[in-house]
């Protein structure tokens, strides 16, 4: 640990930085106490930047651990969090898969760990570019999963994450995912907030007594990692995690509201963010940076006189079922665009499946068009997204689906294969 002579105080400033650097600044602003790191593209510059901060004495009191694999990253973070510290790490794609055993453990132990994911396509074939299949594959781990749609949102969402995760009613870990390269390596203006303002917004760092439910303290011995027999409380523990996940929806909304009143930046109701939805005939749901780019597509089509809207899905877990039903109620046709796959599922796209499932028995019969695009970092252009809206408009007006539907899903931007 670097012994800083005095506290390092970050002043509010707006700087042009990469998405990865925004994630690192957020961890610094949150005064995380333990960082465990192993490099993997495209996340690497997150932990590189943090090591620079620690080395420069800009993160007094932070322990930076270098380990030999992602599995150990999460194992060491679990140890640190169990001892009662605020923890942070970052990973991507294969690194996350290697970490997977410990990912389940962190949620089962109810540890409020925050981890950023610069999302990367699974191999083979090797591919280091944007694709959310990595974080989506943690769907059933018990981690909360959110998406950031721009550079500022990465910083903001990491801060919100600590407030949500560390709430004693929640105590679940959380992933903040954003597109590898599309956000991790592009640069935009990001406002880094005053240290005092962040300190006031976040809960105080845990004291030496740690979290209320789990601790490593010789004065208060506690058994960890013990076996539970089938007749024990295993089912009840699992039910509690599910129940907490549902409870977290209110907490997420509350924190987003508080964030807006503190820092002035608006993120919808926390779970979703609607854009020009009030009089829209058709709309589309996106997540990650393509949700922001879709806003431009909506603006452009509105100028041409089309009544279109879009929705940014901020959370995948917990899934905002009620909000999705409300959104679907507003329009006649709703596109759901996935930059991820769910092989063999009803639509092939993970979020479009969730949306369809949310609408079952809701009494809403909105036509859903599942879309899959941009896998493995394939570029999704503004023109392509405008075309998706036009497809929805056409579907609404004529009932015609695009010609190249494959098993009920529109795979946009496929190469011609002979």
Partner 1 sequence: MSNDTDMEKIVEVTFHGRGGQTAITASQLLAQLAYEKGFKDAIAIPIIGAERRGAPIQAFSKLSRNKQIKTFDSVKNPDYMIIFDTSLLNIPSIMATIKSGVTLVINSKNPIDTCEFPENIRYYIVDATGICIKQNFMHSSGPILNIPMLGAFGKITGYYDIDTMKKVIYKEFGETRGKKNIEVAIEAYNSVKEVEYE
Measured from the CB of residue 147, what is the shortest distance to partner 1 in angstroms? 14
Q: Per rule CB under 8 A, is residue 296 in the interface with partner 1?
A: yes
Task: State the SS3 of the chain.
Answer: CCCCCCCCCCCCEEEEEEHHHHHHHHHHHCCCCEEEECCCCCCHHHHHHHHHHHHCCCCCCCEEEECCCHHHHHHHHHHHHHCCCCEEEEECHHHHHHHHHHHHHHHHCCCCCEEEEEECCCCCCCCCCCCCHHHHCCCCCCCEEEECCCHHHHHHHHHHHHHHHCCCCCCCCEEEEEECCCCCCCEEEEEECCHHHHHHHCCCCCCCCCCCCCCCCCCCCCCCCCCCCCCCCHHHHHHHHHHHHHHHHHHHHHHHHHHHHHHCCCCCCCCEEEECCCCCCEEEEECCHHHHHHHHHHHHHHHCCCCEEEEEECEEECCCHHHHHHHHHHCCEEEEEECCCCCCCCCCCHHHHHHHHHHCCCCCCCEEEEEECCHHHCCCCHHHHHHHHHHHHHHHHHCCCCCCEECCEEECCCCCCC
Q: Which residue has the tokens 């993997």?
A: 40
What is the rounded distance in angstroms from the CA atom of residue 249 to the CA atom of residue 75? Answer: 28
Q: Per rule CB under 8 A, is residue 35 in the interface with partner 1?
A: no
Smaller CB distance to partner 1: residue 235 or 296? Answer: 296
Residues in contact with partner 1, counted by CB under 8 A, come to a total of 22
Q: Per rule CB under 8 A, is residue 185 in the interface with partner 1?
A: yes
Which listed residue (188, 302, 378, 390) binds partner 1 by CB under 8 A?
A: 188
Q: Per rule CB under 8 A, is residue 379 in the interface with partner 1?
A: yes
Which listed residue (57, 189, 203, 212) binds partner 1 by CB under 8 A?
A: 189
Contacts (CB under 8 A) with partner 1, residues 339-368: none
Measured from the CB of residue 181, what is the shortest distance to partner 1 in angstroms? 6
Measured from the CB of residue 24, what is the shortest distance to partner 1 in angstroms? 16
Which listed residue (25, 64, 162, 181) binds partner 1 by CB under 8 A?
A: 181
Smaller CB distance to partner 1: residue 17 or 96? Answer: 17
x/- letters, 90..129, toward partner 1 (CB under 8 A): ----------------------------------------
Which listed residue (102, 171, 183, 301) binds partner 1 by CB under 8 A?
A: 183
Which listed residue (381, 397, 405, 406) binds partner 1 by CB under 8 A?
A: 381
What is the rounded distance in angstroms from the CA atom of residue 279 to the CA atom of residue 291? Answer: 19
Smaller CB distance to partner 1: residue 61 or 413? Answer: 413
Q: Per rule CB under 8 A, is residue 289 in the interface with partner 1?
A: yes
Stretch that binds partner 1, among 48-56, 88-96, 177-185, 389-397 (CB under 8 A): 177-185
Q: Per rule CB under 8 A, is residue 292 in the interface with partner 1?
A: yes
Q: Per rule CB under 8 A, is residue 382 in the interface with partner 1?
A: yes
Q: Per rule CB under 8 A, is residue 57 in the interface with partner 1?
A: no
Q: Per rule CB under 8 A, is residue 56 in the interface with partner 1?
A: no
Smaller CB distance to partner 1: residue 322 or 379? Answer: 379
Q: Where do contacts with partner 1 occur on this chain (CB under 8 A)?
A: 16, 18, 42, 181-183, 185-189, 289-290, 292-293, 295-296, 299, 379-382
């Amino acid at each position: 640990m670097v012994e800083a002579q005095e506290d390092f105080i970050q002043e509010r400033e707006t700087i042009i930085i990469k998405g990865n650097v925004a994630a690192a600044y957020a961890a610094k602003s949150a005064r995380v106490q333990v960082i465990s790191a192993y490099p993997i593209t495209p996340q690497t510059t997150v932990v590189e930047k943090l090591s620079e901060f620690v080395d420069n004495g800009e993160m007094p009191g932070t322990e930076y651990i270098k380990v030999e694999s992602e599995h150990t990253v999460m194992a060491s973070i679990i140890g640190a969090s169990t001892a009662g510290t605020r923890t942070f790490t970052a990973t991507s794609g294969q690194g996350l898969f290697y970490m997977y055993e410990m990912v389940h453990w962190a949620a089962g132990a109810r540890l409020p760990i925050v981890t950023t994911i610069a999302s990367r396509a699974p191999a083979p074939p090797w591919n280091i570019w944007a694709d959310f299949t990595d974080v989506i594959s943690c769907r059933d781990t018990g981690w909360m999963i959110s998406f950031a749609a721009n550079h500022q949102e990465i910083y903001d969402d990491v801060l919100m994450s600590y407030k949500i995760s560390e709430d004693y009613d929640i105590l679940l870990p959380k992933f903040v995912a954003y597109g590898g390269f599309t956000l991790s390596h592009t640069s935009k203006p990001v406002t880094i907030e005053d240290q005092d303002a962040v300190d006031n917004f976040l809960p105080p760092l845990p004291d030496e007594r740690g979290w209320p439910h789990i601790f490593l303290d010789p004065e208060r011995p506690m058994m960890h990692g013990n076996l539970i027999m089938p007749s024990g409380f295993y089912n009840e523990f699992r039910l509690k995690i599910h129940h907490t996940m549902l409870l977290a929806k209110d907490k997420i909304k509350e924190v987003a509201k508080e964030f807006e009143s503190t820092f002035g930046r608006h993120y919808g109701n926390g779970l979703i963010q609607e854009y020009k939805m009030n009089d829209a005939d058709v709309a589309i749901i996106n997540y990650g940076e393509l949700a922001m780019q879709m806003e431009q597509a909506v603006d452009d089509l509105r100028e041409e006189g089309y009544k279109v809207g879009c929705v940014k899905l901020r959370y995948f877990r917990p899934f905002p079922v009620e909000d999705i039903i409300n959104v679907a109620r507003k329009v006649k046709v709703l596109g759901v665009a996935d930059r991820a796959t769910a092989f063999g599922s009803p639509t092939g796209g993970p979020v479009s499946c969730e949306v369809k499932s949310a609408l079952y028995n809701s009494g809403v019969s909105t036509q859903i068009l599942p879309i899959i695009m941009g896998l493995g970092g394939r570029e999704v252009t503004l023109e392509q997204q405008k075309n998706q809206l036009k497809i929805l408009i056409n579907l609404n007006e004529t009932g015609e689906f695009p010609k190249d539907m494959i098993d009920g899903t529109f795979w946009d931007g496929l190469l011609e294969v002979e």
